[in-house]
Structure 1
Amino acid sequence: MCSLAKDSILNFENDSDFDFDKLPKKITILFVSSKFVATMKSKPDQVEKVFILEEDKSRVDNQERFATGKDLIFLLADAIYRCYNKEAKAYSESGDMSSANRKKEEVNRIHSELKKTHQRFFRRDSTINTSTSTLTRVIWLKSKLEDDVEMKRLINLFDEIISSFSVFANLSDLREYLHEHETFAHIFLIIDTDYDDLVVADFHKRSNIKIVLDYRNTDRISFNQECLDIINQASTIFLATRHTSTISDNTSDLGINHRGGYSGFVRTYEENGYTYIVIPDYSGNRFYQSLGNIETDRVAGVVFPCFTSGDMLHVTGIAENIYDDEAECIMPRITLLTRIKLTGYVWIKEGLNLKLIGPEQYSPYNPPIRYLAIELEKMGKPSTVSTRNAKLIEIKKLTKLISRFTFELDEKVSFKPGGYVILDFAHLIPQTYQHMNNNNPQSLNDDYIRTWTISSSPPFNLNTNTFDATNQISCTIKHLPKGTISSLLHSQSNDEKSPLSCKFLGVGGEFTCFDNTNQPPQKLLFIAAGIGITPLLAMFEALSRTKQKTDIVVLFSGRGDEIDLLKDFISSPLVSNISMFDSTGVNTSKSLQVFNRRIQYDDLLNVADLMNRQVYLCGPTQFMIDITSWLNQTGLKSEQIKTESFFF
C-alpha cells in the first residue's frame, strides 16, 4: 500500500519508537475504540482526526464510526482523494497548472488503485484457502477502561479480516514488541497533507464550577444578557420531554433529543411579561418523539451548552407545537415550531467538562437562521405572506454563469437603489420527503424563498428629486450547479410561451449610497467580490440617472469573465479609478488595472483620498470580514463603512 501512495503513507520500521512526539510534523489518523477516546486527556499535535471502531452498529455512520475494519481502505482512499484534490485546487488558484495537473493524476491513480486493493484484499477465492488479509495483524493498546469482555468484542470485530489480534496493556510493552518483532504487516497510516480545520472536543477539567443564577418554578422571569448570549451562541441544544401513560402499563418515561443548526437558530422573545423560546423544526428522521411527547405532556426542558466557556444554561417551561399559518405568524417561512414558555432556568458557570479547541464546523444540512416576525419588523424587513406575483419578462446574459433577470410585478413598489427583493418559488418545485441527500444537503430544508439584490435602479424624477415607484425590477443572478432556483431561472429563455411566475413577498433594504434627501456622498469607494457587485450596480445606475457629481473608486475581486460586470463603470466619467483582482491570472485589460492576485491591505491604502470616502462593501462573508478589518486598520470610522447581509 505504501507503493500506491509514496509520499502519503509513512510506515513504522522495526526500530521505530512508538512515540508521537518524535514523529515528523505530518497528519496522523487514529483508528481506536470509543472507550480509548474517552481516556484521551488531550490530542497529540500530530493527530488530526480520530476514527472510532464502534461495536454498536446502530451508531455507525460511515464517516467517523466503523462497524468493521473493511471500511478502512475505503477511508484511506477517500482521505487521500480529498487531500490531493485540495492541493490541486490550491496549485490551480496560484497559477501553477503543472503541479495541479500532477496532483490530479496522482489522486486519480491512487484512488483507483486503492479501490482495486480493497476488492483483492477481501475477496475469497474458492481455489485458495487463505486470503491476502491473513497477512495483516492488529496491534491494540488497551485503555484502562476496557475490560476483557470489550476486548473480546473488538477481536470479534476483526474476525476473518486479520490473522491475529495482539493486545498490550501499557505503552512500554508495546514499544518493546515493536522493537523485537517484524512489523512489516502492521500498517500505520499518516496522510502527508493538510486537512481542513476540524472540531475537536477536549476533556477539560473546570476549576470554578458554580451556580450563578437559579430561578426555579417562576413564571414571570427574563433572561439576563449573559444567558441570552449563551442561547445565541448555541449551535447544539438538548431537548428533554416526558411521556406520561394514561394506563397502568408502566410505559411512562422521559426522553431527550438533540437539536442543531447555525448559532442563533433558537430565538427568544418577551410578551405580556412572559419569556418564550422558539425552536424551529427542520427536516429530520420524521420520528417526532419529542414533538409527540409535547403534544400529550407539555412540560419540557432545554440545555444550552457553551463549549468555549463551559457554561451550561438549563431551562424549563411549558411547551407547545405550533403549525402552518400560526407558526408562520410567529416565525415566517417555518410551518412547524416548538414554543416554550419559560418557568425557570439555572445558569451553571463552567459546568461542562468539554472544551472546544478547534473552529466549529456546521452541518451542510443547516438552513439559514429564521428570525421571528417581531425581529424582522424591527429590522424593517417583510414578515407577512404575500399573494402578489412577479412574472419573468426578460433575460440578458452577462457572463457564462451570470444573467440579468427582469421581473414585472402586479403593482408598483418603492425601494432605494441597492435594496433587495424577496421572491417565493416554492410552488414551482416538486417537493418529496428525503431524510438525507449528500449530493445536495441544502435542498432538504430549502423553503425556495430567495432574497436577491435588485441590480436595477428605480426611475429618478429630476423635477421632484425623488425615486419613483416601479413595477419592474431586475436581479443579476449567478448560476450555481446545485442551486435549485438559479438552475431553474437559467434554464428559461426569452421566447417561453408561458413565462415563469413566482410570488412576490416584498422589497426593502437600507444598503444605499443615497440619504433621506436622495443625495449621495461626494466621494465613494465600492468594494465587491463576484456577484456581490450587484447592489453597487444599482447604485451606479442611480448615480448616473441623478446626474450627481460624485467621484467613485472601484475595487473588484472576480474571476474570468466576471470582468464583464464592470463594463458600465469603465466608460463612466463618475469613476476615477477601477482595479480588478483575479487570482486565476486569466484576465488582461487595456482599459483598467488587473492584478493577478487577491485584494491586499496595501490596495486600500493606495486609494486616493481614502479617509474622505464612504465605503460600500459586499461579497462573501469572509471577504467582508477581512476587508472590514483592514479598513478599520486604515483609520476609517465605522460609520464610513456600509455592508449588507441577506441572511433573513
Structure 2
Amino acid sequence: MTFYQALEFHDGEKLMQKKLHVPGLDNPTVPMLSPQAANMLQRAPLLAFGTLDPEGRPWTTVWGGNTGFSKPLGNNMIGIRTSVAAKLDPVVEYLVGSDAKGEVVKEEGEGRLLSGLAIDLGTRKRVKLAGKMMAGMLGSEDSDGSMENIQQGVLQLVAHIDESLGNCPKYLNKRDIHPAATDPELVSDSATLDQKAMDLIHKVDLMFLSTNSGSHMDTNHRGGSPGFIRCLPQEGGSTQFVYPEYSGNRLYQSLGNMILEPKAGFCFPDFETGDCLFVTGTTEILFGRDAAEIMPRSNLAVRVTITAARYVASVLPFRGDTGEFSPYNPIVRYLATEQAASRADTSNQNQITAKLLEQTILTPTISRFRFSLSNAATFKAGQYVTIDASEHLDFGYSHMRDDDPRSLNDDFVRTFTVSSPPGLPPHPSKRLADDEFEITIRKVGVVTDLLFKHGLKKGAEFEVGVKGFGGEFVVEQTEEKPVVAFIAAGVGITPLMPCLTSLELGSLRLLWTLRAADLGLALDMIKNTQGLAQSLTLFVTGMDPASDDDKRSLKNVEEHGVQVEYRRMEKGDLERLMPEVRRWYICTGTGQRSAVLQWLSGQEVLYEDYNF
C-alpha cells in the first residue's frame, strides 16, 4: 500500500477558489505517478506536452498516433518513444534542441520543468502529469541515424513524474486517432495572425494549454463546440483571442498558475490536415462583468495576447476522424462585437426537451423521476443523460448572489445515470413508452432541488433541456466470465438498474453499502426485480435505534431474504468471492473506491468516475 502526504493548493489556486466562492476542497493531485496515471499513459494514443523556452514562456504540443508509445519505468519515471516532426515543433526544440542529430541531452540538477496530458478521445479519458525531464534524444527513423533533410524524427524522452491527476470527460469530443507521416513546413511565425491562422482557431473544438506556477507546470485541454475560441478584432500589433472557462472540477489549476505567472502556451491541432498553430502569450483572467462585456453569457473567461507564434503545416504525427460531440458542449458564445452573427448562427439550433411526468419518492432524499422526450432519442443500458436546467436557473450576470454564490459560475448542466432499461435490442424492456426514460437521484444540489420542487406539483407542466445521452458503463456477463460482482454505495446502484433485465441474477454478486435512511431504495429494487434479493448483500450504516421507520424498513428487507450486515464492507467480504467472480464493477465514492481497488489488486475491475 502506498502512502503519501496530500498536496496543498498553491496561492494562485486558493485565490481563484476564494474569488469564485468555492467551499473548502482537498487537493486530489497525488505527488507521484499514480496507478491510474500509469495505466492511462500506456492506453492513451495522444500525449500533449508542455515546457518553457529560455525566456520562461510556456509552449505546448501534442504527439502520438498509436497507443503504447509512453509507459511507466518504475520509481515515478516514465519513458516516451514516439514519432515527431524533426523540425518546427517548439516543445521538441526546447527539450532536446533544434540540432540534436541523435545526441543524448541530459539535464543537470533537478531537470527541466515539463507537464503532460495523456488523453484518449475515443473514451474521453485523460490524466494530467507534471515533473521534470531527465534525458532525451531526437533521432532519425533512418537506419544510419542521419538527421539531414529528414522531416520525421523519433523522440526518446525520460522524465520523472512528481504529480498526477485524473480528470473528468467534460467537453471532450470523440475522435478515432491513427498515425500519419509528418512533413513540416513553416507557414507563418508572426504574433499578428493571418486569416489562415485565425480560421484554424475558429475551427477547432479542442486546444491544449500549458501554464507555470514557478515550481511546477500544468498541461490541460479546453474543448467545446467548434468556434468556442474567438479572435478579437485586429487593431494592429499582436493578435488577441478569448475563450470561456466552462464549469469544471473547481480546482482551477491552470487559472491558478495564471494568477502567479500570467503566461500560457497553446496549440491548436487540425486533426484533418495535421497542421498546428503553436502560440505563447500573456493571459488575463476576466471575471463577472468584465467577462460578460467581451463574451456575453460568460462569467469567467481568459483573454490571451500572443507574443510568439508558429503556424506549421503537416507537423502532427497523427490524424483524427470525428466522432460524437460531447453532450456537455454549450452553444458557442460569440464576442459582443459578433452578436448579430451569433443570433443568426444559433436561431436554428434544435433543442431536445424532456417533460417531467412523475416523481416517485423512495426515501426522504431519493426519488425516481420519469420524463418524456420531445424528439426521438435512444439510449443504451449504462448510459447517462445530460440535462440542461439553465432556462430555469440561469438569471444572467450578477455582481453578487449571496444566497447561491456558486451559481455565478454554474452552467446548470448535469449528468444523471438513466436508471430505466432501454427499449432497444438486445434486451428490450417495454415498461415505459418509447419516448420515456427515468433517473433515480438524490437531492444534493441546485438542479436536483429544482426537480424535487416541481416533481410533486400536480397539473403544472415542467420541462428541461436534454443535450444527449452518453457513457459506456455496461454491466454484462459472458460465457467466459459468467459470474460478476457489482459493488455500490448509495445511489451508485443506478448504473446496474437498467442492466438487470439482461443479467442472470443467480450469477450476480451484489454488495451494496446503504444508509438505513435509504433502505426504501433497496426495497423498491427488490420488489421490482424478482430474484435480486438472493444475489444481494446489504451493508447497512447509520442505523438510528430510536427510529421506527428504520426498524420497519430493515425488517421488510430481511423478510425478502436479503443478507444484511450491520457494518461497513471489509476486505474479507470480497476475498470470499474471488474464487468465483471473474469481473468486478465498482460505483462508489472516491474514498471507498480507492480502498476497494487495493483489495482487488490483480483482479479485473471496471469502474466509472461520476465526479463531474
- TM-score, normalised to structure 1's length? 0.45
Higher helix share: 1
Pick 1 or 2: higher relative contact order, CA cutoff 8 A, min separation 6: 2
Q: Name the larger-Rg structure.
A: 1
- TM-score, normalised to structure 2's length? 0.47
Higher strand share: 2
